[in-house]
Amino acid sequence: MTDRRTADERISAQPAMEPGTEGYWKVWGARVADVRPGDLVMLKYSDEPGTVFSYVVGERVRRPEYQGRPVLMDTVRPKFSDQVTGEEFTIGAMQPIVLLRWGTHNTLADSVR
């Protein structure tokens, strides 16, 4: 069964955790290149500075090729879909993000136990 809760609902439902507890952990030093399906991402955009947008990352959305070549914007500002709402959103390559990943630790390495 698919979890249909939004990112905000998932975070609100999670209690304080001790190290080694399974749950959503804030990943320090994450960049847009580290984002993968299932992550929770929080963003701010310069045109709406007081608003925080939160998403449950679904799939990466590729833009159509231009003259047979990949579009540079897929590197500079990749596009993703929200797993729950289907809404598409972008993350700039230099944009600060907050990334929460399901696991037992707060690093990008999957090898930490």
Residues 24-66 pLDDT 10s: 988 888 889 899 999 999 998 888 888 999 999 999 998 888 7
Three-state secondary structure of 2-70 = CCCCCHHHHHHCCCCCCCCCCEEEECCCCCHHHCCCCCEEEEEECCEEEEEEEEEEEEEECCCCECCEC
Mean local confidence (pLDDT), 85-105: 91
Asked whether the beta carbons of 54 and 40 are under 8 A apart, the reply is: yes
Residue 108 to residue 3: CA distance in whole angstroms: 23
Q: Which pTM was predicted?
A: 0.81
First to last CA, the chain: 27
pLDDT exceeds 60 at position 111: no
